[in-house]
Structures are given as C-alpha cells and as structure tokens.
C-alpha cells in the first residue's frame, strides 16, 4: 500500500479507483447497497452474512476513524441475498481531515457498483416533540459548513464522478422515505419513528443553548456532525440516498436546565435501539432491486 504522500491527496478519481480495485481484488462481493453506521450503531454490520472484513488502516487511501464507538472496519457480505458493504464508523470534519477526504469512501462505493446508500447517525433532538430513542427519517438537511464554503464538491470537478452543479432538492429519495415509513408501520415502530430535517455542524463541541435555539428556528429537527457531506457526494455520483438519525439526547434549549449532552449517552442509546434499526434496514434492503427499482 502506497502512503498518501506518494500518491497525492488520497481522494482523486485515480486514487478512488485504485482503492476500489484493491478491494475488488480482495473480495468477490460486488455490493449494490452501502450502509454507513453512526456512533454506537456499528452492529448493523452484524446482519451481513458471510462477512469479509477490512480494517480501515489496511485499505489504501482510506480515511481512519478515531472516534470511540466507531470500529473502523469495512464489512462486505450479503443481506437476504443482496450484496452489501457496511462502514462500521466514519470520519468527521472535527478529526482534522479535509472534507473531500472524509467523503472519499462514498466515491469508492460508486466505483464498486453501489446504487443505493443507507446512512445512520446519532443526533441531538431540536424538535421539542422528539424523545431520546426516537428515530428520525431524514427528509432534508441544512449544511451549515457549506454556508462558509466547506462543501465536499469545492475544487475542480471531475465529470467522471458527476456534474459541476448537482441538484439537492431531491437529496433524500422520496420513494425510500415512503418505503421506510410503510415498513416502520408494519414493524410497529410508529410510536418512535419520526420524519424531519437534519442540520450538520462541524463539531466536536456540542451546541450552545443559543445555537440550538437558532438551529430550531431555521427549521432543523435534529443536529449532528456528519451525514450531509456524504449525502452530497452520493448524489453527485448519482446514487440514491436514505438516511436516519437516532435521537440520542435532547438538545438543551433552556438556561435553567441542568442537562448536558455527552458522548456516553449517545453510545448507550445506540445500543438500546440498534435491534429495531437493524430490522428496518434489513427489510428495506430486501425490497430493493437492481437499477434503483423496488421489489413488488
């Protein structure tokens, strides 16, 4: 494996292709679905059959995850007969990587043949109707770092990935959102399944009370430190996207409150809700067909 200093940035088309080719030489699985696991939700990878596992630090050019609760492994396997790849942990802006680097795995997935990306994350609930343990299907996002020009598509555009100005009004596939809602009802999840807007910040500090109030007034229902960047790149590459947030803490909105957000609470809530999220994801994958169609 060549060090990045010998190959360049680590996220060019050529480097993404080299990473994809290396992975394809190590496994016969050709995934059509990619699953990205958030904090405390790496157990989603356990639902894959006949797993082939790679540590991130063994994969050429791949960004390393340094956060507790992120295993840092790429798992290939099948789910109900469908070839999948699962990221157990992701990288974040606050770890010091360029935004193009943390989204590089999504482009590798595209080159592997992935058509649909399913993402999960842990988030703080801004919507006062949300409770800890709720699962929010993301219908849209607000990319706060993007307001300051920190967008993963900044820089020269490589048409082999996608167009210069990709549309984001359909970032989250509406048919997949509808499918998740229907499956959630069938599974008896209606009491904790929500739908809302996710806002991303850079982190790693949790938000101040004033920031939470502002974000809520902007229309956000949940706040986190990931996902939106990956969604932008996935849509740039022409892949369908579905994403959901596990509400692991209620954002503090009152100056009289003694509550404080903490990472341990995030991980614990992830453990408690992981089984239901696994069922929802696995049922969604079963209903997917090749070429972005649904099974009847």
Among 249, 250, 251, 282, the one annotated catalytic: 249
| Active-site residue flag, 122 | yes
Is 226 assigned a catalytic role? yes
68 catalytic residue (yes or no):
no
Q: Which of the following is catalytic: 150, 263, 283, 292?
A: 263
Distance between CA atoms of residues 219 and 234, nearest Å? 24
Q: Which of 135, 139, 140 is nearest to 188 (CA)?
A: 135
Cα(39)–Cα(20) distance, integer angstroms:
25
Query: Which of 226, 245, 274, 282 is an active site residue?
Result: 226
Task: Write down the catalytic residue from 20, 34, 61, 70.
Answer: 70
Q: Number of C-alpha atoms within 13 angstroms, CB side, residue 249?
A: 20
Question: Is 95 annotated as catalytic?
Answer: yes
Q: Token pair 């954002």 is at which residue?
A: 251
* Residue 289 CB contacts under 8 Å (≥ 6 apart), including other chains: 295
Find out whether 65 and 57 touch, Cβ atoms under 8 Å.
Answer: no
- Known catalytic residue at 249: yes
Which one of 1, 17, 71, 94 is the catalytic residue? 94
* Residue among 92, 216, 229, 236 flagged as catalytic: 92
From CA 71, how far away is CA 90, in angstroms rounded? 9
Catalytic residue among 4, 21, 95, 211: 95
Selected catalytic residue, list 225, 228, 239, 244: 225
263 is catalytic: yes
**Active-site residue flag, 216:** no
Q: Is 65 annotated as catalytic?
A: no
Which of 20, 34, 39, 115 is catalytic? The answer is 39
Catalytic residues: 39, 70, 92, 94-95, 122, 225-226, 249, 263
């Amino acid at each position: 494996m060549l060090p990045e200093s010998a190959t360049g940035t680590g996220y060019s088309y050529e480097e993404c292709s080299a990473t994809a080719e290396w992975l394809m030489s190590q496994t016969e699985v050709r995934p059509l679905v990619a699953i990205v696991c958030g904090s405390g939700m790496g157990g989603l990878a356990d639902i894959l059959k006949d797993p082939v596992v790679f540590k991130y630090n063994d994969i050429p050019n791949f960004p390393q995850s340094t956060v507790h609760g992120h295993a840092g492994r790429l798992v290939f396997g099948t789910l109900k007969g469908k070839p999948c790849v699962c990221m157990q942990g992701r990288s974040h802006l606050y770890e010091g990587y360029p935004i193009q680097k943390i989204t590089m795995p999504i482009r590798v997935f595209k080159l592997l043949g992935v058509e649909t990306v399913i993402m999960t994350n842990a988030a703080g609930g801004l919507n006062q109707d949300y409770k800890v343990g709720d699962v929010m299907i993301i219908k849209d996002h607000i990319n706060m770092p993007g307001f300051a020009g920190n967008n993963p598509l900044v820089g020269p555009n490589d048409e082999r990935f996608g167009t210069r100005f990709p549309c984001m009004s359909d970032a989250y596939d509406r048919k997949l959102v509808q499918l998740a809602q229907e499956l959630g009802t069938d599974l008896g999840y209606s009491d904790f399944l929500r739908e809302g807007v996710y806002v991303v910040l850079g982190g790693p500090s949790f938000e101040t009370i004033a920031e939470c109030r502002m974000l809520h007034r902007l229309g956000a229902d949940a706040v986190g430190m990931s996902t939106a960047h990956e969604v932008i790149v996935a849509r740039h590459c022409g892949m369908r996207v579905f994403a959901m947030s596990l509400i692991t803490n209620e954002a503090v909105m009152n100056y009289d409150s003694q509550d404080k957000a903490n990472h341990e609470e995030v991980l614990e809530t992830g453990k408690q809700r992981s089984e239901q999220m696994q069922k929802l994801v696995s049922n969604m994958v079963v209903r997917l067909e090749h070429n972005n169609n649904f099974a009847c």
